[in-house]
Structure 1
């Protein structure tokens, strides 16, 4: 029997989610702040790459939690995803 794409992603993500839960929240938040700081302070294209990492992480979390979210929560997380992607594009595109 073939699993759906969502089921395969959730299954593959289970180990990573468990690892993230094992890390203290302050450490996880610190890593996110560090990547955001690199995105803000580094010159292009490094700033764009850092924001692409943030975008990928937010997108992954959004995908995993999509079914459990209410409409306002979905809209807010999509807004954050779009904003991070826009900043990444600005950081990657020269000039």
Structure 2
């Protein structure tokens, strides 16, 4: 029986192949556009930020075993920052 990680990796493989086949700038620009739009759209913009946060967390989980300690810390910091921005947009004062 495959482990949870193996199941996640095999389920993610088709989408990862699709993303890898795109030009390198496209995934970055899509994430950037969604973050900017999510930060600027009042009300439901936090949904876009949540999607980006989940995407970044998914990539972090998939890459975790292959990352060095510094790379792990940097990527966790990026996901934490995206989560903080999402929460700030979702629950305004």
TM-score by length of 2: 0.92
Q: TM-score, normalised by structure 1?
A: 0.91
Partner Cα separation in structure 2 for residue 80 and residue 32 of structure 1: 12
Runs of 5+ unmatched residues, structure 2: none
Q: Residue 84 in 1 paired to residue 82 in 2?
A: yes
**C-alpha RMSD of the superposition:** 1.1
Structure 1 unpaired stretches of 5+: none
**Deviation digits for residues 30-72 of structure 1 (CA, Å, limit 9, x no counterpart):** 21121011122111332x1111111111101100100010111
Q: Please list every run of at least 4 consecutive aligned residues from structure 1 whose deviation after the TM superposition is greater than 3 angstroms.
A: none
Q: Is the 8 A contact 1:44 1:94 kept in 2?
A: no
